[in-house]
Structure 1
Amino acid sequence: MTQVTVRFYKQGDKVWRDFKAELIKRYENSAMLDISESEVFSKIEKQEFNNLIVVSKKAIVEKRAVAGIDDSDILKTSVNNGLDKISKKRKEARAKYAPGIAEAASQCDTLIDIAKRVGKSTSFVKRVANEFEIKLPRRNNGHEEIASR
């Protein structure tokens, strides 16, 4: 199947590090490996283990090999697709408000006045101005803007 590298395997008081083995079966948090071709194990150890060991997925270097395709990956994909759609809609909404914010920014003295005129929050106005490079007034409700913002 697939050859993987195991960082660490412990059985009793013996420890094996950095060896290669053949991936046979994936489990939820572990994987069954064939060690018959591995040079780290002695012949007696291979016979004791029946050429098979079960190792935690955390101990395996090649994460993609042991990940497989399971329901959690499908769920993550659908969630990501949903988030992308929401992100796209929000970007379209910001693009829709950009001309109004640009016009209001040229006529108003404060950020709050712009937000009231457009009917949106000051953070939304700042986000749109930042994304579409609209110059906003330096004063926010009569107080100077902090330079770090």
Structure 2
Amino acid sequence: MNIYLYWFIQLTWGVLINIIGLCIAAILFCAGLKPYRFNHAIYFEVGEKWGGVNFGVFFFVQKHAPDRLKSHEYGHSFQNLLLGPVMIVAVTIPSAVRYHFRKYQHKKGYSLKPYDDFWCESWATKLGRKYT
């Protein structure tokens, strides 16, 4: 996808989630963290052993995150291109709730299904692979 089209759609149809991402990015930048580029997106490495989260063109991952994690979070940005304002309620909130529930289940010793068994996560992984 053309970088200009990617950013144009992100900052129009997908602007809601990008505003959140911009605020988080600004705070991290002011705190001295360095932004990096992953294809058309911007990401920051924060903390350890937690995974990642996407807010449009901005995503945030653990330090030394593997490329597959960055690709997955980048895939969520393409979901935002397609879903726009619906992204927050259709993907972001369900994904966050599921992440914390899985963390709780893991702590209690339950066996977990693969992370990509959830529809929006497998879709993000596929989109990330396609556009990386």
TM-score range relative to shorter protein: under 0.3
Q: Which has the higher contact order (CA 8 A, sep 6+)?
A: 2
Higher strand share: 1
Instruction: Give the number of the structure whose alpha-carbon radius of gyration is greater.
Output: 1
Going by fraction, where is helix more abundant, 1 or 2? Answer: 2
